[in-house]
Amino acid sequence: MLAKSFQLLAKSRRWRKNRRFFRRRLIRLNNLLFVADKIDKKIPSMRGMTEVKEFFYMRFNKKKTEKLLGEILVDRGIIGPEQLKEALTIQMNTGGMIGEIIVKLNFANEEEIAQCISFQYGFPYLPLENCEISEEVLKLVPASVAQHYCFIPIDKIGNALTVAMANPLNAEALEDLEDITSLDIHVFVGTASDIRNAIKRCYK
């Protein structure tokens, strides 16, 4: 009985969190993307909360190019077709993000991957080596959360918080950020190493 009560409580909390997620995005949809009377025609029939969240997230973060990350790396001469094929084979067998796999194979460095992601999705790339972050901004996000999602808050202007993220497509991280800060999140791309070093340097 007690276990069932905990399950119901967990479901209730998840529902409240998801309800906030949809309310925020529906407001943005009304304001930015759709005319109210056309919303039902634009949103496809989908199953599961994850698919719905991904749909909303990708509507607001359209790709700048339809090319995949591996194709962009090949086009720029950073890796060769055979190297991409090897990385994709590893991804198929073990999973993981293709950019991280390519870095682990020493086919490209983190900065090259970050700049290609920036080009792919239109998020600006931000080197963090000499970036100064105020204590006021750092206090908005606990260090443990920043470390968990590999991002760091950079600046706050009005109701907008700018963050640098290693994975700018992490919808869960962005959702938690919005819940913690109650701010609109603007995303920059940074390398994982830069972000981890900035977290160590800034959160003291």
Quote the tokens at residue 100.
């991280």
How far apart CA 71 and CA 2 sit, in angstroms, is 52
User: Are 142 and 176 within one domain?
Assistant: yes
pLDDT tens track for 54-100 = 444 444 455 567 889 999 999 999 999 999 999 999 999 998 889 99
Looking at the domain assignment, is residue 193 inside a domain? Answer: yes
Count of structural domains, the chain: 3
At 176, which CATH number? 3.30.300.160
Distance of CA 28 to the CA centre of its chain: 18
Instruction: Find out whether 111 and 100 touch, Cβ atoms under 8 Å.
Output: no
**76 SS3 class:** coil
Q: Which residues pair with 156 in a beta bridge?
A: 161
pLDDT tens track for 8-29 = 444 444 545 555 554 454 444 4
Question: Residue 8: which residues within 8 A CB-CB, separation 6 or more?
Answer: none
pLDDT tens track for 154-198 = 999 999 999 999 998 899 999 999 999 999 999 999 999 999 999
Looking at the domain assignment, is residue 128 inside a domain? Answer: no
Quote the tokens at residue 29.
């949809």
Which long-range contacts (C-beta less than 8 Å, at least 24 apart) are formed by 41-48?
Answer: none
How far apart CA 78 and CA 72 sit, in angstroms, is 9
C-alpha dist (Å) from residue 130 to 24, 117, 133: 34, 21, 10
User: Are 112 and 144 within one domain?
Assistant: no
Looking at the domain assignment, is residue 170 inside a domain? Answer: yes
| Range(s) of the domain holding residue 142 | 135-202
Looking at the domain assignment, is residue 40 inside a domain? Answer: yes
The pTM (predicted TM-score) of the whole model is 0.66
Looking at the domain assignment, is residue 10 inside a domain? Answer: no
Looking at the domain assignment, is residue 73 inside a domain? Answer: yes
Residue with tokens 């991002």: 151
User: Are 75 and 103 within one domain?
Assistant: yes
User: Are 142 and 97 within one domain?
Assistant: no
User: Are 103 and 139 within one domain?
Assistant: no
CB atoms within 10 A of CB 158: 7
In the sheet that 184-189 helps form, which strands lie side by side, from edge to edge? 151-157, 160-165, 184-189
Query: What's residue 169's pLDDT?
Result: 86
